[in-house]
Structure 1
Amino acid sequence: MVVTDATRGRPRHRPNAGSKRPPRRDTAPNAPGLAARMAAARLLAATIDARTPLDGLTDHEHGHPQFRALDMRDRGLVRAILATALRHRLTIEKLIARRLEKPLPANATALSHILHVGAAQILFLDVPDSAAVDLAVTHAKSDPRTVRFSGLVNGVLRALARAKDAELPQAMADTDDAPEWFVARLVAAYGEDQASKILAAHRLESPVDFTVKSDPGRWAEAFGGIVLPTGTVRIEKLGGPVSDLPGFADGAWWVQDTAAALPARLFGDIAGKRVADLCAAPGGKTAQLALAGAQVTAVEASKNRLTRLAANLDRLGLDAEKVNADLLAYEPAELFDAVLLDAPCSSTGTVRRHPDVLWTKSPEDVAKLATVQRKLLDGAVRLVRPGGTIVFSNCSLDREEGEALVAAFLADHRGRIELDPIRPDEVPGISAFVTTEGYLRTTPAGLDLGNPAISGLDGFFAARFRRAA
């Protein structure tokens, strides 16, 4: 295989295909920064090849062992590399391919991941090109699957470093950095122009939002951020761990995207009412409901996730009944005045903050999850009293999980459940997100604040129903 410097047209390396593979090494060379790059490549493989969600892999307590073995600084670097490599995957792929005379073999996935980790640093991160190249080459030499391609890694990445200023803008213009199936569904649902704006937003790191118990202006000043029209406090990015911020230990706030904070507000005044939060973990919406004065029952099928919810509520000084149960089997002693179902979904509305979603989900997943959501919504109906309110929401951009699902649900429950349309005046400052049908629909292209780095919000869908008296 020949590596070509696309800007000069000269062969850079030809590996010796006949060389013998050395024995496997049990330990990696002790080069500073190498362990982080090796972890990044391993986790990128798990995400791309095994379609494993990144949040689980990079969990500080239960994540991948190779990630947990790193110190906190290197964990942050790994997260940055992975988010960048996934957010710009097709752009990186295109620029690497230009430097290869022939495509990489289909089974050369380990080599591909090493190249993507190195390229992400060279093209998008504040890492010296020489360090990115040298560590990638050392990584390749340490792995028997890639040792014979170490010269290729060196040639490709050095050529990429020389050409990035000239080629990167056009390469980004030539791709959407998203799978074809996702782009097609986005265009079908929102049209070419809106789809393009959503895809452009996905290439940006998301800002950080906080729901505060009180006085958002004070906390915006403390964080150096702004107050959004919804009352959420927003900063462009974190400078360190969330737990180091003022107010964390005191339970004055919690991290929650402004779109995720909207569904709980659609109940209006719920002080003193009995409200069930279904699929409740990690508890942001439970906290909102409790703060608003509701008597909240948080229902969660996962014991581990319910434990996390309990810890979050304890920090915030808020109380809710916690029930570990499958909502389809849950039988409350008394029906609720209101039910919130923020259902598990494809999460395509959160791509900006979770770029792995595009590479771990498929159209088949969307269809399966829509079926699950419909079962859960049907189950939620039996938990609310006659005359009570149901709010259904999810963080998907796909209409199969939103508008189409709700239309079928209403048709099947005609006479028993009716739509309670959301009014624009209920969400002042963001009334444009209310559709003509009375649904709430946000996208990452919304909430333009003049600066792309602090604009936008997660893609969310919400609908409100009333059970017939």
Structure 2
Amino acid sequence: MSAPPESAQAEGGHGLAARRAAFSILNDIFFRRRSLDEALAGQDSGGLPARDRAFARLLVVTVLRRARQMDAVLAHFLHEPFDALKPASLINVFRLGMAQLVFLGTPEHAAVNTTVELAAAEGIAHQKALVNAVMRRLAREGFPEMPGRDAGKFNTPEWLWNAWMKDYGVEAALGIAAANLGEAPLDISVKNDPQGWAEKLGATVLPTGSLRKQAGGFIPDMAGYAEGAWWIQNAAAALPAALLGDMRGKAVVDLCAAPGGKTAQLANAGAKVTAVDRSAQRIARLKENMQRLRFEDVETVIADGATWKPAALVDAVLLDAPCTATGTIRHQPDVLHLKEPKDQEKLVTLQRRLLSNAAEMLKPGGTLVYCTCSIQKAEGEEQAGWVLSQGLPLRRVPVTHNGIPELAEMVTEQGEIRCLPNHWQDFGGIDGFFVARFARV
């Protein structure tokens, strides 16, 4: 639950345990296809101090962001295919060493020595000479320079690069990819008094009302966390619930609700919220979050949102649909390695089932807000177009920037919101997000 700053120096003072944790997490992601969150959760119970957990995460996300770039250099140094490495996990030893030496400012001797020590500690002692030779050669010859924009493209999977090129053109695609190489700031939604909490937390108030501060520190130790005064939520993710307008006393379904950031917004606005998610584990996490925030009147349902029906028609549905999550790569760079075109195809089908069912939950005149944290238009704009082409009982309700000029670049001609990671550069960027609003006819 810690959020390390990108600028943290990876010095030898961090113990071998942190590096071993990072090695284990990378193996979970690359070889067992576990998500970053799942892999981190497995390590959080390992008894590492918060500082070492933060350093392990910094190592991991640096590798995930730069792995393709690292591997190209490593292939040049090794002169043999990666599948010939024994064991296969040796590649993650090299990647961790390169992360420290090249990207995190670790002194040369510390980067080389700790990488050799890691190989020995992980039972790869027979490869210590190779690890030592490669690391010393890298230190001697240096890492090939690559302009930031080109580095972004190089570290983006081809299928995603092609999709972003098609959707937005080369300049925007380069901007998105470059933004994804950086660490996202920490955004916070507050129950009330944003200016007061900004002062207490050392944050600034964004034009949309979210707070923003530099990532870093152990979140549960921050002022106001234990008493439930605020919750972590990217500024883009806070936009959809705001588009529902005044929800005091209204019945609202939050479909695919976990972990509950939007549920909390709705409850804070006075809505009667039913939070639906198909995962019992995720609903349990949502309940924990609502208890900390003192939003204990939220009703929770474990059910498939594509088939579940409320007992009575509701005033509004907020559908944050499952997606490829490519708008969150700054937080979750594992997306670069775990998501594939076939995943998007399945998710597009699921999104349409959810949209069709959500439309049937609404009272006449009720509001549906559909959103995804995907950059691809196939999961956003094209889905909104599909809604209008299929004869669903919905009409588009265009969005405006509502007096917030800083949102103008994100509002499309169709009256939808399209955030990209390279938007809001003056504020430190924003997650990729799509939002469309409809009314039941």
Pairing 1:372–2:356 present: no
Pairing 1:83–2:61 present: yes
Structure 1 counterpart of 2:269, one-letter code: A
Count of residue pairs the alignment pairs up: 426
For 2:369 and 2:424, the matched residues in 1 are separated by 23
User: Residue 197 of structure 1 aligns with which residue?
Assistant: 175
Q: Does the 8 Å CA contact 1:367/1:400 hold for their aligned counterparts?
A: no
Deviation for aligned residue 1:208: 0.4
Deviation string, structure 1 residues 143-166 (Cα, Å, up to 9, x no partner) = 55x4332211101112222343x7
Q: Does the 8 Å CA contact 2:148/2:178 hold for their aligned counterparts?
A: no
User: Residue 110 of structure 2 aligns with which residue?
Assistant: 131
Deviation string, structure 1 residues 310-352 (Cα, Å, up to 9, x no partner) = 1211211223122222223423221100000101110000001
Corresponding residue to 1:40 among 6, 22, 37: 22
Structure 2: runs of 5 or more not aligned: 1-12
TM-score between the two structures when normalised by the length of structure 1 = 0.86
Corresponding residue to 1:459 among 427, 432, 436: 432
User: Residue 229 of structure 2 aligns with which residue?
Assistant: 252
Deviation for aligned residue 1:448: 2.1
Deviation for aligned residue 1:364: 1.0
For 1:106 and 1:386, the matched residues in 2 are separated by 63
For 2:313 and 2:73, the matched residues in 1 are separated by 58
User: Residue 122 of structure 1 aligns with which residue?
Assistant: 101
Structure 2 counterpart of 1:139, one-letter code: L
Structure 1 counterpart of 2:387, one-letter code: F
User: Residue 92 of structure 2 aligns with which residue?
Assistant: 113
Deviation for aligned residue 1:426: 6.4
User: Residue 5 of structure 1 aligns with which residue?
Assistant: none
Corresponding residue to 1:215 among 193, 210, 213: 193
Q: Give the secondary-structure state (helix, strand or coil) at the position aligned to 1:99.
A: helix
For 1:308 and 1:212, the matched residues in 2 are separated by 19
Q: Does the 8 Å CA contact 1:230/1:428 hold for their aligned counterparts?
A: no
- Report which stretch shifted further, 260-269 or 37-46: 37-46
Pairing 1:72–2:54 present: no
Deviation for aligned residue 1:294: 1.1
Deviation for aligned residue 1:286: 0.7
Shift of the 99–313 alpha-carbon distance from structure 1 to 2, 3 Å rule, reads same
Deviation for aligned residue 1:127: 3.1
Structure 1 counterpart of 2:237, one-letter code: A
Deviation for aligned residue 1:94: 2.5
Deviation for aligned residue 1:427: 5.2
Q: Does the 8 Å CA contact 1:91/1:172 hold for their aligned counterparts?
A: no
Deviation for aligned residue 1:233: 0.7
User: Residue 19 of structure 1 aligns with which residue?
Assistant: none
User: Residue 185 of structure 1 aligns with which residue?
Assistant: 163
Corresponding residue to 1:237 among 207, 215, 220: 215
Deviation string, structure 1 residues 110-133 (Cα, Å, up to 9, x no partner) = 111110011111111243332232
Q: Does the 8 Å CA contact 1:388/1:467 hold for their aligned counterparts?
A: yes
Q: Does the 8 Å CA contact 1:91/1:171 hold for their aligned counterparts?
A: no
TM-score between the two structures when normalised by the length of structure 2 = 0.91
Pairing of 1:8-407 with structure 2 (within 5 A): 33-59=15-41, 63-64=42-43, 68-106=46-84, 108=86, 109-143=88-122, 146-164=124-142, 167-169=144-146, 173=150, 176-238=154-216, 240-318=217-295, 319-407=297-385
Structure 2 counterpart of 1:352, one-letter code: R
Structure 1 counterpart of 2:50, one-letter code: M
Corresponding residue to 1:419 among 396, 413, 416: 396
For 1:437 and 1:199, the matched residues in 2 are separated by 25
Deviation string, structure 1 residues 432-453 (Cα, Å, up to 9, x no partner) = 211111111101010121xxxx
Q: Give the secondary-structure state (helix, strand or coil) at the position aligned to 2:274.
A: strand
Q: Give the secondary-structure state (helix, strand or coil) at the position aligned to 1:340.
A: strand
Structure 2 counterpart of 1:191, one-letter code: G
Deviation for aligned residue 1:279: 1.0
Q: Does the 8 Å CA contact 1:250/1:315 hold for their aligned counterparts?
A: yes
Q: Give the secondary-structure state (helix, strand or coil) at the position aligned to 1:464.
A: strand
